[in-house]
Amino acid sequence: MSTTNPISAQAVADLREKTGAGLLDCKKALTEANGNVDEAITILRKKGAASAAKKAERATKEGVIESYIHVGGKVGVLIEVNCETDFVARNDDFRAFVKDLCLQIAAASPLYVGREEVPEADLQKERDIAAAQVQGKPPAAVQKIVEGKLEKYYSTLCLLDQPFVKLPEKTVKDMVTERIAKIGENIQIRRFVRYQLGS
């Protein structure tokens, strides 16, 4: 599609449906991408990430505490997710997202919200194990392998680094960023507890 062709209202509506972004943002992204939908989605995601970064410092004093008990009663989750206003805290989309986070925690068993919560002693232990597994390789290669194994370690233990259960091509952090861009408020996963019978 050339830049001289106008962007159809249907194309804008379809992109809005896919991304949840505003109509004007969708039209601008499609125009910038010369009508290429995938490229327009990438543009919107980048803008969403930039928008979320700007909102990251804003106070989050409202929100919800949600619970989930898995069928059979053997796994339970309690989570606190904060936002800026009670208006958003009552929003169905926000509440559905928090419920999805409960399902994520029940299914994927993270131990921490983010990387900053992982104790340094645990990280050092993982570094030592990874380095011991690749002894004899050049130092630069060892460094890359160790960093790769640490990334895998984070994606197992940290909720924000895990692939999102409903959309595995995205991380939980990506999904939070998209919600911030869509809702227009800062959102923070404050804390969670996962209970498993007998553990």
Least confident of 10-24, 69-83, 145-159: 10-24
**What average pLDDT does range 81-91 have in this prediction?**
91
Distance CA 112, CA 182 (A): 25
Does position 54 have pLDDT exceeding 80, yes or no? no
**Reported confidence tier of residue 148, pLDDT bands at 50, 70, 90:** confident
Domain 9-55 is of which CATH architecture? Orthogonal Bundle (1.10)
Query: Which residues pair with residue 69 across a beta bridge?
Result: 76
Give the homologous superfamily in CATH for domain 62-114+158-196.
Answer: Elongation factor Ts, dimerisation domain (3.30.479.20)
The H or E element spanning position 156 is: helix 139-157
Query: Which residues pair with residue 171 across a beta bridge?
Result: 163
Phi and psi torsions of 170, nearest 5°? -120, 155
Query: In this predicted structure, what is the pLDDT of residue 3?
Result: 44
Does position 24 have pLDDT exceeding 90, yes or no? no
Predicted TM-score (pTM) above 0.75 = no
**What average pLDDT does range 165-182 have in this prediction?**
89
Query: Which residues pair with residue 192 across a beta bridge?
Result: 79
Domain boundaries, the chain: 9-55, 62-114+158-196, 119-156
Distance CA 98, CA 92 (A): 10
